[in-house]
Amino acid sequence: MTAKTVTSRTQFRLKGKCRDSYLELVLDFPLASIKSVEHLAEAQRVIDGLLSRGTLDAGEETYLDALSDLVGSYEDEHHSIEPASDADMLRHLMEAKGVSQMQLSRDTGLPKSTISEVLAGKKPFSRKLIHVLSNYFHVDVGVLAANF
């Protein structure tokens, strides 16, 4: 083992009570790749239990992050979710902000016909539309550009 490896390992070590809480969780439910629906359900039960505690120490947070990553990897592989359509995304943003097509058109200067076509699934987001909508709804352009 090189000196650089030892230095890297010590940066991420848990000490004292945090180390104990992490190791206790690992002993109760080891961190390993999720292999089945049953294993997934048990991992989700453990995650729910940790989240219900409220405040977690550093060891518990580290364990929760790692277990969440394992669950996410399994779900990405076995239960992937297609990105929302442009129409669904715009509809959601409008509902969340409580605006109508007419109000959106007035506030942004976008033609009502453009908004209607997007909501009907007849027209995808353009770069200009993404920019205007991201500013209006205060969301990152990446949220709207997922299908671009």
In three-state secondary structure terms, 12 is coil
pLDDT at 13: 77
pLDDT in tens, 15-50: 888 788 899 999 999 999 999 999 999 999 999 999
> How many domains does the chain divide into?
2
Q: Are residues 26 and 63 in the same domain?
A: yes
6 occurs within a structural domain = no
pTM of this structure:
0.52
Tell me which residue range forms the domain holding 92: 86-144
Among 61, 78, 95, the domain boundary falls at: 78
Residues 6+ apart with CB under 8 A from 66: 31
Q: Is residue 1 part of a domain?
A: no
**Could you give the dihedral angle defined by the CA atoms of residues 139, 140, 141 and 145, in that order, rounded to the nearest 10 degrees?**
-90
Identity of the highest mean pLDDT range in 1-5, 17-21, 129-133: 129-133
